[in-house]
Amino acid sequence: MANPSPITYDNTALFDRRPLRYDPWLTRNLRNLLFTGIASIFAAIAVLPLVLVLFYVLMQGGRLISVGLFTQLPPDIGMEGGGIGNAIIGTLLVTLIASLIAIPVGVGGGIFLSEYSSGGWFANFVSFGNDVLAGVPSIIAGVFVYGTVVTTRVFFGQSYSAMAGGIALAVLMLPTVIKTTYEGLKLVPQELRWGAYGVGASKFVTVMRITLPSAFTPIATGVVLAIARAAGETAPLIFTALFSSFWPDGVFDPIATMSVLIFNFAIMPYQAQNELAWAASFVLVMMILAANLLARWIARMTKV
């Protein structure tokens, strides 16, 4: 019996198709173009408010920038000239106090949730409470500190003070610092911990020498974002730091901040105060923008 002829395959049909080129009139390409355009429009709408705010604040406040704006006190009601030097120093001081309180506590809380908790009821309670605190309106934090610190005069009999304002801002910073610390530590490879344990390192030494330094960049990014948010808050400072038309005299006295200055001067029927409010708005926006750019730069360092 003769051997059957081998089976041959004709691949001609595979090469008879149209050449590989982009056809804009295909249905799938038209549909892709349509939805790409819709997504681009929505993205532009989302960014448009930021662009308009920056442009308007730049036009209204940027033209008022001068050396005197940073070195002089606000003028008396109805008077011309002056500056916002005390408010700039006050904002930096209150934010520094808040950072000194929130960063150690927040980083410690994130370390506990990531490294020491075993998923028990207490860890779940802390995690849930942190998520709830992140959504609490800032004015609630101000009222809380007003009732517990300002009205009780716990700081040497003083009521409104920079210290009270710093505590209120620290409450707002805590959720961001805790969450970013927790997420940053979770990104550290488990093998690094096992390697440290393998050479005899304790849990504490492993966290301080291995885990925490490895997660420094995401933690620093979260800290900078938390500071940027706190620096722009107004409601908590109205209830705690109040305002002052003089240079800061200490952390236990009322102090001027740029956000409260903007609130006070913007509603006054005097052009000089309104212009200072716009100038302070410009300076505050630039400070917050610089902080956010710093956070993005720190985050980019992780990819290098």
Residue 246's SS3 state is coil
Together in a domain, 166 and 28: no
DSSP 160: S
| CATH label of the domain that carries residue 264 | 1.10.3720.10
Together in a domain, 163 and 127: yes
**For 108-123, what is each residue's pLDDT tens digit?**
999 999 888 877 888 8
CB neighbour class for 96 (10 Å; exposed up to 12, middle 13-18, buried from 19): middle
pLDDT of residue 170: 94
Together in a domain, 278 and 230: yes
Calculate the average pLDDT of the chain.
87
Mean local confidence (pLDDT), 255-284: 91
- b vs e for 146-177, b when ≥16 Cβ sit within 10 Å of the residue's Cβ? beebbeeeebeebbbbbbbbbbbbbbbbbbbb
Together in a domain, 130 and 43: no
Look at residue 177 and tell me if it is in a domain: yes
Question: Alpha-carbon distance 30 to 46, whole Å?
Answer: 25
Look at residue 181 and tell me if it is in a domain: yes
Look at residue 12 and tell me if it is in a domain: no
pLDDT at 5 over 60: no
CB neighbour class for 73 (10 Å; exposed up to 12, middle 13-18, buried from 19): middle
Look at residue 1 and tell me if it is in a domain: no
3-state per-residue secondary structure call for 81-139: CCCCHHHHHHHHHHHHHHHHHHHHHHHHHHHHHHHHCCCCHHHHHHHHHHHHHHCCCHH
Q: Which two tokens stand for residue 43?
A: 């993205």
pLDDT at 13 over 70: no
Amino acid at the residue 166:
G
Together in a domain, 43 and 125: no
Together in a domain, 47 and 178: no
Q: What are phi and psi of 4, to 5 degrees?
A: -65, 145
Together in a domain, 34 and 176: no
Q: For the chain, what percentages of helix, strand and coil (3-state, to nearest 5) are there?
A: 70, 0, 30
Look at residue 132 and tell me if it is in a domain: yes
Look at residue 276 and tell me if it is in a domain: yes
Together in a domain, 203 and 274: yes
Together in a domain, 39 and 86: no
Question: Alpha-carbon distance 24 to 18, whole Å?
Answer: 14
Total domain count for the chain? Answer: 2
Together in a domain, 145 and 291: yes
Together in a domain, 46 and 188: no
Q: Which structural domain, as residue segments, surrounds residue 31?
A: 23-55
Count of alpha carbons within 13 Å of 200, Cβ hemisphere only?
0
**For 135-191, what is each residue's pLDDT tens digit?**
889 999 999 999 999 999 988 888 899 999 999 999 999 999 999 999 999 988 889
